[in-house]
Amino acid sequence: MKSHREELWFQTETRRAFLNITPKVEAALARSGIREGLCLVNAMHITSSVYINDDEPGLLHDYEVWLEGLAPHAPTSRYRHNLTGEDNGDAHLKRQVMGREVVVAVTEGRLDFGPWEQIFYGEFDGRRRKRVLIKIIGE
């Protein structure tokens, strides 16, 4: 069995963003040479997420509205975490809802997606550099 590891780095200009990273993961898979196995993609920061869904602008807007309704950024005083001097208590909750990682089967050298599935990086406390781990195992 082979193993391949890569990191992706992101620094968004906004506090929240949703980035389709599927092409970057596909490129890592191609570099790995692995034809059959599993591909793990996970956010390595506790205020960002990796998830799978459709790349449809209305849905991305709906995520923004829905997550802000679940855990509004303001007022920042509503979160005990922010008493530490941070202002990102909401970002930790948003990450919890959206998840840390995804695992996708690799079949015949390709990510084995269902219809419309894409891999996204979700940023909930941006404007600083953060990384995503890609770990591919198989043969």
Locate the domains of the chain by residue range.
2-138
Summarize pLDDT for 35-68 with one digit per residue, the tens.
999 999 999 999 999 999 999 999 999 999 999 9
Q: Model-level pTM?
A: 0.96
Looking at CATH, the fold of the domain delimited by 2-138 is given as Jelly Rolls (2.60.120)
Please state, in angstroms and as integers, the Cα–Cα distance from residue 76 to each residue in 15, 68, 116, 123, 124, following that order: 14, 13, 36, 18, 14
Structure tokens belonging to residue 24: 């970057």
